[in-house]
Amino acid sequence: MSGFGEIIASAVGKQVAGMLGELATEEATLQWKFKDDVDVMADKMQDLEAVLHDADDRLRRRGRDGEAVGRWLTKFKSVAYDVEDVLDDLDATELLKKSQPKLKLFFSWNNQILRRITMPHKLKNLRGEIEKVGKEGQALNLVRNQERAEGSRNNETFVGICDEGLKSGVVGRDMEKDKIFRLLLNYDDNAREDISIVSIVGLGGLG
């Protein structure tokens, strides 16, 4: 899966690992009997997230294994998004269960019987994919991120994977930031209307 744009892989990993950690403590996990898979997936995602900094460094250095590391990062993000999709589906199912009358829920394709059959298989397959990505990372000798001094990431450059290939650079939205500053400080003489709220929306985990 490609075309993610300049998305920081570590943010995706942290978000999904957090979602799995929360799911492991929920009642539905025990009821549907896939707690073991969720626990293992959460641990594996945390392990993978811990080696992302090394992968990013090696990709930026463009060494002889840079292309292989780039493919590994793409696979990692693909699996992370697949996990996120399944967890969102599970959340929607639980919400539907609480909001719909039992009779309507029984005749719905989203009923509990169907989900109890398909969801454990989905999670088990995803667990296998996560473990596969983990083994490929070990084959690339990716090392866990070490504790770094406070403020050492201020000027860090991250690498994005996109349809055109590998791109490196400081990730940011300078044009959008400048526009927001102008809105807030009323630099634009043409903007005469008072602004009470400026909505700033971003991908969860990147803030």
50 part of a folded domain? yes
Which burial class, exposed, middle or buried, applies to 190 when counting CB atoms under 10 A from its CB (0-12, 13-18, 19+)? exposed
Give the structural domain span for 109.
Answer: 9-166
DSSP sequence for 16-53:
HHHHHHHHHTSHHHHHTT-HHHHHHHHHHHHHHHHTHH
Look up tokens 């990062």; give the residue. Answer: 73
DSSP state of 5: B
141 part of a folded domain? yes
Alpha carbons within 13 angstroms on the beta-carbon side of residue 146 total 5
| Listed residue (146, 206, 138, 204) closest to 172, CA to CA | 206
Q: pLDDT tens digits for 8-34?
A: 465 666 667 677 766 655 665 555 567
Q: pLDDT tens digits for 141-166?
A: 888 875 433 344 444 444 454 544 54
Domain count, the chain: 1
- pLDDT band for 86, please (50, 70, 90 cuts): confident
- Look at residue 135 in the predicted model and tell me its pLDDT: 92
Max alpha carbon distance in the chain (Å)? 61
DSSP state of 144: P
120 part of a folded domain? yes
